[in-house]
Amino acid sequence: MAFANKDVITAVLSRSTEDVDVTFTSEWNVVNDPSAGVYYPHNGLLKFPLAPGASWRSRYELTRARQGAFRSKWDVQIKVVGWEDVEVPAGRFRALRIEGDGSYQRQDVAGNGSGRWVFWYAPQAKRWVKYTYESTDFRGNPNVRQTDELVEFRLQ
């Protein structure tokens, strides 16, 4: 983590080809990710307090400047499924499994698709320790597949 206060968290994420600076809200909702884009107001996929059975809806807009005028509007339904043990390079954690299923509508061209997120939020680490994302294009074909895992854990 590079910086955190009551409003914002900035972090450096190591992706397969590069390290990227990402900006999150204090609830770990993405605001800006150079490889994914700018979220307005943020992606809203986490909402505290987290508890099994909790659910909410997130609506946001995503702009990808690196892909020209790419803009999409998302509508996602999120649910806290329950507790699970998860193992990542940083260790083994007791975590809440959070699932999100949503759809997007392109704003720059005709098109739509869907996305599915799964987070494992570990209170011990005070963040998600594993995250998966898969999306499809308007034909239902796989579009993006991503997994992020916590590789080092040290509370200060």
3-state secondary structure of 39: strand
| Strands ordered across the beta sheet of 112-122 | 3-4, 8-14, 19-25, 30-33, 37-40, 55-64, 70-88, 91-106, 112-122, 127-136, 142-149
pLDDT above 60 for 76: yes
pTM: 0.89
Per the domain annotation, does 142 fall within a domain?
yes
Residue 73: inside a domain, yes or no?
A: yes
Residue 155 lies in a domain: no
- Asked if residue 61 is part of any domain, the answer here is yes
How far apart are alpha carbons 108 and 110 in whole angstroms? 7
Strand residues in 65-126 grouped as ranges (E) = 70-88, 91-106, 112-122
Instruction: Please state the domain count of the chain.
Output: 1
Q: Residue 109: which domain range?
A: 3-149
Residue that wins the pLDDT comparison between 67 and 130: 130
* pLDDT value for 156: 66
Residue 127 lies in a domain: yes
Determine, yes or no, domain membership for 145.
yes
Identify the band that residue 14 occupies on the pLDDT scale cut at 50, 70 and 90. Answer: confident
The answer to whether residue 154 is domain-embedded is: no
Please report which confidence band the pLDDT of residue 1 belongs to, taking 50, 70 and 90 as the band edges: low
